[in-house]
Amino acid sequence: MTAPTWLVHLASERAQVAKVAERWKAQYCSQGQWARCSTGSSGEVHQRLSALSADATAQDVAEIIGNDSWIGEHCDGCRGHAVDSWQIGEAPDYESHRVVLCSACMDLLVKTYKVERMRLKRAMP
């Protein structure tokens, strides 16, 4: 068996919050100049994101930025907002094939897999 080319990756709330200031800077700062953002100064937003404590949450980030799009992704299972997002498939890229699930949908997936696998084993002669 060859190594799988697929990926199961957890983008946790904590890991995303820890990198949000860096991601914000990459998006809004070019050659030392801060671009404008919807709330005004992207440099001020960056300062506030950089000052977040280690136990800051996705909600803290959303209050600074003004929306929840920077932490989490759309869940392909329940169509909700997955703060902790489980990414199954190819590594994230512009054209990657992957499914994103919230933790509740991931729990349902694992539970369903276990039940169906047991059913298959019982059905075998």
Give residues in contact with Zn ion (CB under 5 A): 75, 77-78, 102, 105
Toward Zn ion, which CB reaches closer, 12 or 48?
12
Tokens at 78, concatenated: 């329940």
Judged by CB, which is closer to Zn ion: 45, or 100? Answer: 100
CA distance 125 to 123: 6
Nearest-approach distance from CB 79 to Zn ion, in angstroms: 7
Rounded to a whole number of angstroms, the minimum distance from the CB of residue 83 to Zn ion is: 11
> Per this entry, what is the length of the chain?
125
What are 10's two structure tokens? 């957890």
Of the candidates 13, 15, 6, 18, the one whose C-alpha atom is nearest the C-alpha of residue 87 is 6
Q: Which is nearer to Zn ion, 26 or 78 (CB)?
A: 78
